[in-house]
Amino acid sequence: MTINISGIGIDYGAILPELVVAGTAIVVLFLELVVPPDRRRWLAAVTVIGLLGALVATIPLWGQNRSAFGDTVIADSLAVFFNVLLIAITIATVAISPRYLHALDLDYGEYYILILGATAGMMLLAAATSLMTIFLGIELLSISLYVLSGFARTTLRSQESALKYLLLGGFATGFLLYGMALIYGATGSTTLRGIAAFTTAASSNAAGNVLLLLGIGFLSVGLAFKASAAPFHMWTPDVYEGAPTIVTTFMSVATKSAAFAAVGRVFIATFPSISSRWYFPLALIAIFSLFIGNLVAITQDNIKRMLAYSGIAHAGYILLGVLPGTAQAFSATLFYIAAYSVMNFGAFAVVTAVAAGGEQNADLSHWRGLFYRRPFLATVMTIFMLSLAGIPPTVGFFAKLFVFQALVNAQIWAPLIVAVIMTIVSFYYYLRVIVIMLAAPDEVAVEKRPLGIPTSTVLGVAGLATVVLGIFPAVVLDWATRAASLHF
């Protein structure tokens, strides 16, 4: 048997950004051998350069529609949207990493390789149009993150979180694979295009197909696990708390974004004709996430756990935009993901900066009077908290507004009402952070430890973006609309 290679459609250009990121990982792997231990910041620099190269490689793909490798990946605006977002998140993460790693004595080159590996997996996931590439992307990012969670080798909590993440992640992957197998069994195809063709064909009776529906159900379990949506969220608080804060920062936004890219491709692009079937489970997952995330966040006294639950709640908000099953509503989801990435990254980056400043314990009581000790950190944290709560003029307000508007347009009321009520509940724990930071400190001692230029730049840009996009949301909304609509 001969394989017709050109028939598969090998088009390296379509996956050039992913290739650049993976190539950078290999370069860093070799550099790590020759760079002396006290010069490991160079690796961070190389990583950033590689990521910038990937950014350059991804821009020309905007507006295109290039399927490659036998319909298993696609280079389109949606992929570019996520590529840009993920690369930006990774660059910001890498920029603030050296100082934190140094403070924790974790300055090893493998860190950058793993981060790059995870990024490549996420980007692949965003471009994946086949069950196989979806799985490949998820595993690539998951395995990298399992290791990263346990990267603080000497800390017991970090080890615990890595093990928990690995065990539960493996469990969820089982569901994911089983779901994929069932879908393949029902439709006879692994590419999303083939599956979509099957579901829309009149003869197939997709809406009554047991195998297909069970497969979709298990697939959504697997994806919901990655997006840390309830009730598949249980790993999130423990892993977020135990993992090194810089890793938590990265995965809290990047993993979630990538998972929702796959959710969009699967549910909105592939199964629009049977949206009445997946609407109900997804709505339940969204409501669960909103409920559990917001409620339990109230009782947390550890800021990393609090933000973990807040992340679960935001998974619920993001999922709301998927429910109507239309491109217009999905653009609200994309906007929300971008907004969430900026503000949540910023919030965790502040936690990282505080941790690197010596407060390893992320207990909220250590944040008392932060405003008097670290005015800049406390100010940007205030912006991020207000934005996460959805108070204008921050980007978080428009993110919620657009999603709610999409629900109103689609006349989906029950999840909307839950979302609005839970938003009010969320004010409690977001504003509480601000109150604690502003409370009079026990002793006034201004810390003059500098943040370093990369960290203060990243925080400043994130804070500024949170406000500026809250005043001028149209730019990002426009991109989100085009990314969401071009594909469908």
Q: Which positions touch another protein (CB under 8 A)?
A: 163-164, 167-168, 171-172, 175, 208, 210, 213-214, 217-218, 220-221, 224-225, 231-232, 234-235, 237-238, 276-277, 280-281, 284-285, 292, 295-299, 405, 425, 428, 472-474
The amino acid at 89: I
Shortest separation between residue 178's beta carbon and another protein, angstroms: 9
CA proximity to 27, closest of 1, 57, 49, 7: 49
Shortest separation between residue 74's beta carbon and another protein, angstroms: 28
Shortest separation between residue 95's beta carbon and another protein, angstroms: 23
Looking at the Cβ atoms of 217 and 272, the one nearer to another protein is: 217
Looking at the Cβ atoms of 294 and 344, the one nearer to another protein is: 294
Shortest separation between residue 360's beta carbon and another protein, angstroms: 20
The amino acid at 402: F
Looking at the Cβ atoms of 61 and 172, the one nearer to another protein is: 172
Number of H helices, E strands in the chain: 20, 2
Shortest separation between residue 88's beta carbon and another protein, angstroms: 22
Looking at the Cβ atoms of 56 and 207, the one nearer to another protein is: 207
CB neighbour list of residue 156: distance below 8 Å, 6 or more residues apart: none
CB neighbour list of residue 381: distance below 8 Å, 6 or more residues apart: 346, 347, 350, 370, 433, 434, 437
HSE-up (13 A, CA, CB side) for residue 183: 29
CA proximity to 111, closest of 306, 243, 309, 230: 243
Looking at the Cβ atoms of 261 and 292, the one nearer to another protein is: 292
Give dist(CA 163, CA 241) in Å, integer: 13
Contact 86, 123 (CB under 8 A): yes
Looking at the Cβ atoms of 120 and 476, the one nearer to another protein is: 476
Contact 130, 72 (CB under 8 A): yes
Could you tell me if residue 450 is left (phi over 0), alpha (psi between -120 and 50 degrees) or otherwise beta?
beta
Shortest separation between residue 459's beta carbon and another protein, angstroms: 17
Phi, psi (rounded to 5 degrees) for 300: -80, 140
Shortest separation between residue 2's beta carbon and another protein, angstroms: 42
Looking at the Cβ atoms of 414 and 445, the one nearer to another protein is: 414
